[in-house]
Structure 1
Amino acid sequence: MNIDFNVWASIALMHFVAVVSPGPDFAIVLRQGLQKGLRAALWTSLGIGTGILLHVSYSILGISLIIKTTPWLYNALLYIAAAYFIWIGINALRSKSQAQNQDDSADTTQTRGLWYKAFSLGFIVNGLNPKATLFFLALFTAAIPAETSLNTQIFYGVYLACATAVWFCFLSFVTTISKIRTAYQLHGHWFDRLMGIVLIGMAIFLLL
């Protein structure tokens, strides 16, 4: 495996700009952390990181290019992603006010048994994001030289997945800051509704 550190640095920079930009992943992790607690947010973050491996896999295999150059397939992906984001957004809009002194321990017990739901949420949101498809298509066709070995491409892909998971795990810990948690307990249903509007807006943006 022959790693070009200049290529790696350029990949890391492009990925950093992409991953810190607000998007569906950002909105979901923030909502999970504030609504369901740290454990759920961390599992969702790991799901998002694992979803990156899906994009990396079909980019290496060239399937992403097929998706991009096949209009009906790409449109189907757009519609599925938009519908899923709208569904999550509508559920968020239906959020109700919570008691100020919410028992976080009960919530932690619940998420311990339902970790797979939090993980699946992150994986599906990232895996269905067509903008991620385009990003990895551009990355593996433009930023990574064509002569790069398969092992090196896999290394880059694993790095991107791990870096994504680390970023969103950090974001998950931000949601545990006491002032943020207190504000959410008081006005969390308004935040949920705002996130619902954001997700529905992203779905409309994808369709347009």
Structure 2
Amino acid sequence: MSTTQYLALLGLWVAGIVSPGPDILVILRNAFLSSRGKAMLTALGVMIGNIIWITLSLTGVTVVINQNEVLKLTIQIAGALFLAWLGYGSIRSALAAKANARRSPETARASAPGGAVPGSDEAAPSPATVEAAEQIPEPAYSARGSGVLGTKNLTGFRAVVQGIITNLSNAKAIVFFIALFASVVPANALWWESMLVAVLLFVVGLAWFCAVAWFGSVPALAARFQAHSVGVELVAGVVFLAVSVLLLGEAALSW
């Protein structure tokens, strides 16, 4: 392969990975609601998924999948259902956190001895009552869902898994990688040239997604989004569901 071909490949690759999609969304969600380290590991997971697609493309497997309509539709539907599950989990967590926050004043009043509320028409509470009420901890509500796909108590392993599954769930990657390699990488490329292509794409992709993770986890920015975690999860859930609906729509039209 010539230098021009490598540069053309990298240009098309960069144009593809910088486009907003589920990969960037899941990295930013974990950056906003978890930590920089977990977001970086999510980015690594995304690139592990991409290197799987790259390997399948270089070995011709994606071409076989693209030519088999049933297999292609199966992968697309499975990916769409996963994204729908991810979106549903985000929305459910956000709505649960919102409901808990709405109930917090009632919970605080019920927890205070005698249920008296300062400033009401009832008798003023005794100093002991006020002191007891002040000792009741303020509930910390969060929209961060638990489980493999959530951000609550997110472990490094789960962060990597989230990145891998989110990337592999996008069946449109099949078409992207076929077009990418068919237009630039020659069919008679040597084995070491194919290896170099895979390494270059992995390094550039990892650098980009790690940059996204770093930016999303800047303390001042992350603190603002954590303060509005319900909104973050709601937006993420709606976007995941929208992508899922589009994928299912494409699958139905191509049937």
2:7 aligned partner:
9
Which of 37, 40, 43 is residue 42 of structure 1 equivalent to? 40
Q: Contact conserved, 1:85 with 1:203, CA < 8 A, in 2?
A: yes
| Offset of residue 177 of structure 1 | 2.1
Amino acid aligned to 1:60: L
Inter-partner Cα distance in structure 2 for 1:5 and 1:87: 43
Shift of 1:135: 1.0
**Could you tell me how far 1:134 is from its partner in structure 2?**
1.2
Residue 198 of structure 1 is matched in structure 2 by: 239
Runs of at least 5 residues in structure 2 that lack an aligned partner in the other structure: 102-139, 143-152, 250-255
> Shift of residue 190 of structure 1?
0.5
Query: Cα offset for 1:121?
Result: 1.0
User: Is the 1:48–1:126 Cα contact (8 Å) retained in structure 2?
Assistant: yes
Superposed CA RMSD: 1.9
CA distance in 1, matches of 2:241, 2:3: 39
- Aligned-residue sequence identity (percent) comes to 24
Q: TM-score, normalised by structure 2?
A: 0.73
Cα distance in 1 for residues equivalent to 2:179 and 2:195: 16
Tell whether the 8 Å contact from 2:46 to 2:167 is kept in structure 1 after alignment. Answer: yes
For 1:31, the equivalent position in structure 2 comes to: 29
- Equivalent of 1:85, from 83, 86, 89? 83
User: Which letter does structure 2 place at the counterpart of 1:121?
Assistant: Q
Correspondence list, 1:142-161, <5 A: 142-161=183-202
Partner of 1:106: none
Name 1:171's counterpart in structure 2.
212
**1:180: which partner in 2?**
221
Rounded Cα–Cα distance in structure 1 between residues aligned with 2:247 and 2:207: 26
Match for residue 128 of structure 1 among 169, 172, 191: 169
Q: Secondary structure at the match of 1:27?
A: helix
- Is 2:49 the partner of 1:51? yes
> Hey, what does 2:248 align to over in structure 1?
207
SS of the aligned residue for 2:202 comes to helix
Work out the CA distance in 1 between the residues paired with 2:13 and 2:26.
19
Tell me the amino acid that sits aligned with residue 188 of structure 2: E
Q: Which runs of 5+ in 1 are unaligned?
A: 102-109
Deviation at 1:100, TM superposition (A): 8.7
User: Which has a greater percent of helix?
Assistant: 1
Tell me which structure has the larger Cα radius of gyration: 2
Structure 1: how far apart are the matches of 2:226 and 2:28? 14
Give, in whole Å, the separation in 2 of the partners of 1:88 and 1:195: 9
